[in-house]
Amino acid sequence: MTTTSTTVATASPTSSTSPGRRSRRSTQRRTALWKDAWRAIANNGKRFAAIVVICAVGVMMLCGLNAVGRDIRGGLDDFFDATHMHDISIVSTLGLDDDDITALRNVDGVDKAAGVRSQSVTTKVDGKQASATVTALNDQRLDQPYLSEGRLPGADHEIAVTRQYLDDSGKSIGDTLTFKPDGAGTAATTSTASTSSDGNGDANDSGTFADGKYTIVGVTVDPNDIVNPSGPLALVSGMKTVYPMFVDAASLSASGAESPYTSAVITVSDAAALNTYDSDYLTKVDDVRGNIEHIQSTQERHRTDTVKAAAIDTALTQLDDQRQTIAAMPDGNPMKTAAEQKLNDAEQQIRSKINDSIPNATWILRDRSAITSYEDVKTQSAMITRLGTMFPALFLIIALLVSLTAITRMVEEDRQLIGTYKALGYTRGETMLKYLVYSLVACLAGGVIGDLLGLAGLPFVFTRRMLSRLYVLPEYPLLVNWALAVGGVLLFVIVITGSAMVACGGSLRLDPAELMRPKAPKAGRTIFLQRIGFVWNHLSFLGKVTARNLFRYKSRALMVIVGVVGCTALMTAGFGMGNSALTLMPRQYGEISTYDIMTVTKPADHDDAQKSLDDNDSVTSTLPLQVGSVTLSAAQDDAGSDSSQSDSAQSGSDSKLTAQLMVIPDGESIGDYIDLHTVDGTPITLNKTGVVVTANAAKTFGLSSGGRIALTDAMANTADMTVIDVAQYYTGNVVIMTQTAYEKAFDTDIAVNADLIQAKGDSDAKIALADDLSGQDQYLSVVSAAKQQRDFSKSFAIFFVMIGFIVVMAAILAVVVLYTLASTNISERERELATIKVLGFRRREVHGYVNKEMMLLSLIGIVIGLPCGRALLGFLVSKLDLPGMNIVPNVQWFCYAAAAALAFLFTVLVSRATNRSLDRIDMVGALKSPE
């Protein structure tokens, strides 16, 4: 008994080991554990690389796509700050004068205010008539054009133009151009044309700016319109090209310098320091807007009185001359008394007529949301951010599956080692340390790579290759959201290390003795296929083995299928997206807009243009109509009135959208030129009270048949209209109504200024006819359907970049998943594979024995993935909100074929890569190892 007690005491570390020795032993044990952890990374490099890659891609997409959304907004915000873009603009129906500008500068919260003079003009571009807007630079430098080349005008008869104008006209800096006033005018110039300060109404006739040649001194970007004129957004809008031009105030003509301001632009104190889309900015601007509204009625009344007084003074000039004549016959003369009475009556009639004919001034206050580019950037950045949340979720799931498979296999391989650790007294945490370090290092390595690619690489690709096709912003900042960058990595760390803990947990619950024994193989079972005799009995031996293996490793088979489904679905959605986008124009002009050419003139020139078209042998038929521009907004009685309205309706209640207005004269039929029908193909008939709204605009405001929409025309007149129905339309936002409906809504006569034309010949002949018409002076705009289709396909590189991005992501997904599972499959079945090699299977037969399973599983994944990809495309399209584009899913057979072929190709490549592992199996070592 004494000897036994002594032996036990000697074996006990707590009774005989000194504290220093225990400390050294503990340190040595921890050191050994850390060495084992790092050794595991080196010995399992392929699995480690798989987790690193999948984490890197997931973090890259999470951080990168969200960064792109922020960079777009940041780029526009920086551009607005650089150009001193207005926070609030004001347009008045009677123009604005210096008293108005002074009053605005005194409003609390206003930093700067300036009056702006601009005019619509016509000029020659490559020998053809073209429209332009000339704006005088203001003394406060607000809405300053962004200078990209040369310099801004600093003297009279100097002008700055856009790059588009130089490209279209073939001119360069130093060349000259001329322009003349456009009688059609814009909203602003039309309002001021009839209300110049002297009341004679001829400001637009004589021109706001001096005549003569203007020298081009600079190339600029108009801050009010940053859409790339050669990009898809410009092409789908269907609006005529209007070239922005800028001159110095010294170029104002004598009458122009005395004319009212076209508009007023205002900046808000301390607003430039805030991001233009942040709630703080919007709140600050709203507060100042409210302050301006406090003086609005006073200034409107003041301007109305000024304009009427000037008009009356001008009209009474002749009466004053007659009064002086009458004042020279003698007093008491009955004729003098009668003449004076007639003059007094005439004066009263003139005063009454002028007071009745000149409407009261009305201010229209707008913030930056009225700028089309501002709303477009807001919409698209939100869309990209949504994708940045959706795609990483898929890769997070795949990362979970890959890491769970890899670490589960590591645990199985270390089964005896884990049992030894437990027998030696290692704690649960110490035993698990190896696998936690393995997964943690993989996550951190992948996360760092993903952050670098996501915060710099992906935004560069999107901004330089994609966004530059949409907008002409000079640069985009790289804005780093460290919370998202760190949070994305932590998300993958939590998920993957959590899967490592789960994988280890099952083994750590077993006793050391059980862990140190080889794991018993699963008992054989009758698989479902064996019960189908007419199938099973006709399978070869190897076919039966393959079937049993597929059912034997169900979890791995499921993961292969899931990986291939994800890969195939992504590629199907990518190819389908590209095909849907590239068929926008062909479908638009093949199904909807069946006319060949649209021409736009001044209303005064339309009769001559119409006669010329009627006499043209190349023209089959024409439809005269009125074409213009309107701003759409939610009707006052509809905005927010129904708590059950859709998200799009709620978001659209405060949105504004520019649309093309088509007014069809009474008695004319639109059917031969535009096929109006709903999404399901039901024909739409115009009536005398409502409007037809196209699908993209209807989606923005949540409109359906019977809904209400507010239309604001170029003269700032607003009318609430009932929606007859929503028409299918692929490119652009269009509102169509009859002459009766238009005249009733806006209380004005129709002004026909356009034609829809059916022409003879093929596409080249129709384009040639359009080019011939555009060379005639009476045409402001000529749009050829055939040319639109041709140019649109050239400009759509943005979608090719997107397709390439999706295919690369799908390839990474497939390769990582398939390679990880294939490698794990081979490592688990080394004894089995060594056995068949010993039995005489040749190398190719061994390859086929394993790869056949992978191919079958991939085919199942492809078959499931194709319809899943179509469903994913529908989901993506529902989340896309590209301005003026109504992308309808259109997946043709070759999209499915390409996705299936690539997915199968990835499987073949992975199989060939893993064949090398099959060739290197050590038959003797594998057969000596326990199962």
Cβ neighbours of residue 486 closer than 8 Å, sequence gap 6 or more: none
Q: What is the pLDDT of residue 521?
A: 66
Instruction: Give residue 140's pLDDT.
Output: 92
Please choose, from the candidates 675, 791, 795, the residue with its C-alpha nearest in 3D space to the C-alpha of residue 736: 675
| Residues 6+ away with beta carbon under 8 Å from 904 | 858, 859, 862
User: Which residues have a Cβ under 8 Å from the Cβ of 362 and sit 6 or more positions away?
Assistant: 92, 93, 300, 716
pLDDT band at residue 881 under the 50/70/90 scheme: low
pLDDT beyond 90 at 100: yes
Q: How many angstroms separate the CA atoms of 571 and 896, rounded?
A: 9
pLDDT in tens, 46-72: 888 888 888 888 888 888 878 777 888
Q: How far apart are CA 605 and CA 610, in angstroms?
A: 9
pLDDT at 200 over 50: no
Query: How far, in whole angstroms, is CA 288 from its chain's centroid?
Result: 30
pLDDT per residue as tens digits for the range 302-322: 999 998 888 888 777 777 777
Tokens of 226: 């940053």
Give the range among 21-25, 52-56, 619-623, 840-844 with minimum mean pLDDT. Answer: 21-25
Whether the per-residue pLDDT at 885 is higher than 80: the answer is no
Looking at residue 845, its amino acid is E
Classify residue 586 as exposed, middle or buried by CB count within 10 Å of its CB (0-12, 13-18, 19+).
middle
CA pair distance 725, 398, nearest whole angstrom: 44
* Average pLDDT value for the chain: 81
For residues 131 and 897, what is the distance between their CA atoms, to the nearest angstrom? 47
Higher pLDDT, 203 or 383: 383
Contact 240, 783 (CB under 8 A): yes
Backbone conformation region of residue 918, classed left if phi is above 0, alpha if psi is from -120 to 50, else beta: alpha
- Give the residue-averaged pLDDT of 411-427: 83
Question: Which of the four pLDDT bands, split at 50, 70 and 90, describes residue 651?
Answer: very low
Q: Where residue 237 falls among pLDDT bands split at 50, 70, 90?
A: low
Closest CA to 144 of 134, 136, 155: 136
Residues in the chain: 931
List helix spans (H) across 128-244.
163-169, 187-193, 203-206, 232-237
* Res 650: pLDDT: 42
Task: List residues bridging with 872 in a β-sheet.
Answer: none
* pLDDT at residue 330, as a whole number: 64
Q: Of 426-435, 546-555, 804-813, which gets the smallest average pLDDT?
A: 546-555
Range with the largest mean pLDDT of 120-124, 315-319, 542-546: 120-124
pLDDT mean over 682-693:
91
Higher-confidence position of 344 and 98: 98
C-alpha distances out from residue 857 to 70, 564, 611, 820, 907, Å:
41, 8, 69, 15, 10
- The span from the CA of 761 to the CA of 616, in Å, is 13
Q: Which of 219-223, 462-466, 813-817, 833-837 has the highest mean pLDDT?
A: 219-223
Please give the average per-residue pLDDT across 592-620, as a whole number.
90
Q: Is the pLDDT of residue 11 over 70?
A: no
* Predicted confidence (pLDDT) at residue 380 exceeds the cutoff of 60: yes
**Per-residue b or e along 808-817, where b marks 16 or more CB atoms closer than 10 Å to that residue's CB:** ebbbbbbbbb
Rounded average pLDDT over 103-126: 92
Residues ≥6 apart with Cβ < 8 Å to 930 = 518
Residue 464: band (very low, low, confident or very high) from pLDDT cuts 50, 70, 90: low
Q: Is residue 354 a contact partner of residue 308, using CB atoms and an 8 Å limit? A: yes
| Distance separating alpha carbons of residues 428 and 408, to the nearest angstrom | 16
d(CA 796, CA 648): 27
How many CB atoms are located within 10 Å of the residue 98 CB? 10
262-299 confidence digits (pLDDT tens): 999 999 999 999 999 888 999 999 999 999 999 999 99
Residue type present at position 659: A
CA 79, CA 125: separation in Å to the nearest integer? 28
Paired sense of beta strands 118-125 and 128-136, if any: antiparallel
Higher-confidence residue: 376 or 17? 376
